[in-house]
């Protein structure tokens, strides 16, 4: 088994497909359960990711994309700095900050995945679940070289009393494929990918040069996003439903230029499904503004981003409202171009 196989296994101990990212399987199952509850036929659903963990919603049918007037959340929203702005103004302000960002030698994405609750563990019906998290990092150089890092963080029993009655174990098996959860953080896995790295925008494979060449015009970018969405035959929704998630992936996941990131914010400001909900704080205590949109139609689950409009940075990516699964929270610790050289994941 290759280093990449081991890394994928560490991120998702039971992957449904080799290109899925953390939480993808749970999300698909949850949406299918939601649809079944509404007496709809279950279909394959909107969650794909590339080897870099780039998950993007997708669609299979066309929709008119010619809207120009901003429509996102016109009601006033207070920013972390105390200024009251409309939701559209907040997204446009973030766009301006994104366009002014500097570039560097490497695209760096560092994420903290939280919310996974494996289990049950214990015996004789006295069981408990774990709260687990892990760090994942990717680096992409201008010449296309990539580095991947992963570190499993310490697991915490969600029911300390049941854990003590179980003998206070320090390790728990991940599953039949091997590996353990531990009360101590694991060692960092870090390597340069020797194979040609494939990047995906929705389900559409793209080279780094193709991502760099994406249009900086919001309307043209929406049309390109529609092409990416139609490339995913597994998505059961419409292009209109897939646009918010596909555009949002350009904000922090894919190594897009500052101009394209700004265009993605401007495009999101024109989408009726995108709502700027107001000031919020991420799990790291960082202040930002919540931006939400449904994954498919007007049903749950829903995607919630917390962005910092003063820097244009995405602070968290959350999937909320998953039946019987709990929320999945991906904290974005670093995202952007940098001259700092690739290194193993650290908890700092």
pLDDT of res. 86: 76
Which tokens sit at 319? 């999937």
Residues 141-199 have pLDDT tens digits of 998 899 999 999 999 999 999 999 999 999 999 988 888 999 999 999 999 988 777 78
Based on the number of CB atoms within 10 Å of its own CB, is 144 exposed (0-12), middle (13-18) or buried (19 or more)?
middle
Tokens 């409009």 belong to residue = 309
pLDDT of res. 326: 64
Identify any residues that bridge with 137 across adjacent strands, giving them in sequence order.
Answer: 110, 149
pLDDT of res. 300: 66
Identify any residues that bridge with 295 across adjacent strands, giving them in sequence order.
Answer: none
Distance CA 50, CA 56 (A): 9
Give the torsion through C-alpha atoms of 105, 194, 149, 203, to 10 deg: 80
Based on the number of CB atoms within 10 Å of its own CB, is 106 exposed (0-12), middle (13-18) or buried (19 or more)?
buried
Beta strands in 154-222 (DSSP E): 156-157, 171-173, 180-182, 189-193, 199-201, 204-206
Tokens 């996102």 belong to residue = 72
pLDDT of res. 138: 95
pLDDT of res. 324: 58
pLDDT along the chain (348 residues), means of 10: 32 35 41 38 33 30 30 48 72 95 95 86 90 93 93 94 95 90 93 84 90 96 94 82 94 96 97 92 94 78 92 92 72 95 83
The DSSP output letter for 238 is: -
pLDDT of res. 114: 81
Task: State pTM to two decimals.
Answer: 0.73
Identify any residues that bridge with 73 across adjacent strands, giving them in sequence order.
Answer: none
Which tokens sit at 224? 């390109």
Distance CA 179, CA 9 (A): 9
pLDDT of res. 62: 25
Identify any residues that bridge with 339 across adjacent strands, giving them in sequence order.
Answer: none
pLDDT of res. 195: 79
The DSSP output letter for 59 is: -
End-to-end CA distance of the chain: 30
**How far, in whole angstroms, is CA 295 from its chain's centroid?**
12
pLDDT of res. 75: 44
pLDDT of res. 19: 40
- Burial call 17-52: b when 16+ CB within 10 Å, e when fewer: eebbbbbbbbbbbbbbebbeeeeeeeeebbbbbbbb
Tokens 């919603």 belong to residue = 57
Domain edges within the chain: 3-117+198-337
């Amino acid at each position: 088994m290759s280093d990449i196989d081991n890394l994928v296994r560490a991120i998702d101990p039971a992957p449904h497909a080799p290109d899925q990212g953390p939480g993808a399987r749970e999300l698909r199952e949850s949406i299918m359960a939601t649809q079944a509850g509404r007496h709809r036929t279950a279909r394959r659903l909107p969650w794909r990711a590339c080897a870099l963990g780039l998950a993007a919603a997708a669609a299979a049918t066309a929709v008119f994309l010619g809207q120009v007037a901003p429509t996102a959340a016109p009601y006033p929203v207070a920013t972390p700095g105390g200024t009251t702005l409309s939701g559209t103004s907040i997204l446009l302000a973030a766009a301006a900050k994104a366009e002014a960002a500097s570039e560097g030698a490497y695209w760096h994405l560092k994420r903290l995945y939280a919310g996974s609750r494996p289990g049950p563990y214990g015996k004789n019906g006295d069981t408990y679940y774990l709260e687990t998290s892990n760090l994942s990092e990717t680096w992409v150089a201008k010449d296309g070289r990539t580095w991947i890092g992963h570190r499993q963080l310490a697991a915490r029993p969600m029911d300390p009393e049941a854990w003590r009655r179980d003998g206070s174990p320090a390790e728990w098996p991940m599953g039949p494929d091997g590996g353990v959860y531990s009360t101590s953080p694991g060692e960092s896995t870090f390597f340069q990918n020797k194979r040609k790295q494939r990047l995906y925008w929705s389900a559409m494979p793209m080279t780094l040069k193709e991502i760099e060449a994406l249009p900086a015009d919001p309307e043209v970018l929406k049309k390109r996003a529609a092409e990416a969405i139609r490339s995913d035959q597994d998505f059961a929704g419409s292009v209109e439903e897939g646009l918010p998630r596909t555009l949002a992936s350009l904000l922090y996941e894919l190594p897009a230029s500052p101009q394209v990131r700004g265009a993605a914010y401007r495009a999101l400001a024109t989408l009726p499904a995108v709502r700027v909900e107001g000031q919020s704080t991420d799990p790291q205590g960082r202040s930002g503004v919540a931006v939400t949109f449904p994954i498919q139609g007007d049903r749950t689950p829903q995607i919630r981003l917390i962005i910092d409009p003063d820097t244009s940075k995405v602070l968290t990516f959350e999937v909320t409202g998953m039946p019987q699964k709990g929320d999945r929270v991906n904290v974005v610790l670093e995202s952007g171009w940098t001259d700092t050289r690739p290194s193993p994941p650290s908890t700092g």
